[in-house]
Amino acid sequence: MRRKLVAGNWKMHGSLAENQALLGALKAALNGLQGGGVAVCAPFPYLAQLQSELAGTSLAWGAQNVSEHAKGAFTGEVSTSMLKDFGCTYAIVGHSERRSLYGESDETVAKKFMAAQAAGLTPILCVGETLDEREGNITEQVVGRQLDAVINAAGVEALAKAVVAYEPVWAIGTGKTASPEQAQAVHAFIRGKVAALDPAVADGLVIQYGGSVKASNAAELMAQPDID
């Protein structure tokens, strides 16, 4: 039985006052939720606020990025130990905006994935294709390559302590959403790829869909057999 997780990513948005209102609403609606989990991933400056507001609730929190380096002369970077100081349990790695805007390679993402796990954090590994790649019918090739980078570096068993998030780049912040059938097809591909290496890991693997999910389409997306 796969556990469920709903993770929210604020991107580079928010203020102390806006965060307070949002976190208050989340706690009122979701604290004590049974049979699933909720995690909020916020920009680094707001992690202390998350820790203060969410400690003692059933809601978890995490960061939108993390350094692959444990410490050193990497000005502006944030290490896993720093995230742990603020009670984080999750860290997003490989988000499409990190890959496309900041040039993070598959190798770098794999290193961040392993650094997060080594520190006891649960990495949320983002994979997904651009519009050109989808229209070129190479979605599975792209997503498979992104997965292989982590599997080859960390081993398929590492996915048992991670979350995979399929986030088609063309559907993030654009208002476009993959149809339930499109999303399910990629989720099934991911689970099948992992199953070929370790069926038990694949069976328990949480694979989320992200990309313009909203109240009007969430239920239909989550009803798909491989979308968690």
Considering 68, 95, 97, 187, which one is annotated as catalytic?
95
How many other C-beta atoms are found inside a 10 Å radius of the C-beta of residue 77?
A: 14
Which residue type occupies 97? E
Residue 140 known to be catalytic:
no
Residue 167 known to be catalytic:
yes
Q: Name the nearest CA neighbour of 144 among 192, 105, 100, 180.
A: 192
How far is the C-alpha of 32 from the C-alpha of 84, rounded, in Å? Answer: 23
User: E strands within the chain?
Assistant: 6-9, 38-42, 59-63, 90-93, 122-127, 163-166, 206-209
What are the φ/ψ torsions at residue 68 (nearest 5 degrees)? -80, -10
Q: Name the nearest CA neighbour of 112 among 74, 69, 75, 76.
A: 69
Q: Are 41 and 64 in contact (CB under 8 A)?
A: yes
Considering 97, 129, 167, 187, which one is annotated as catalytic?
167
* Active-site amino acid positions: 95, 167
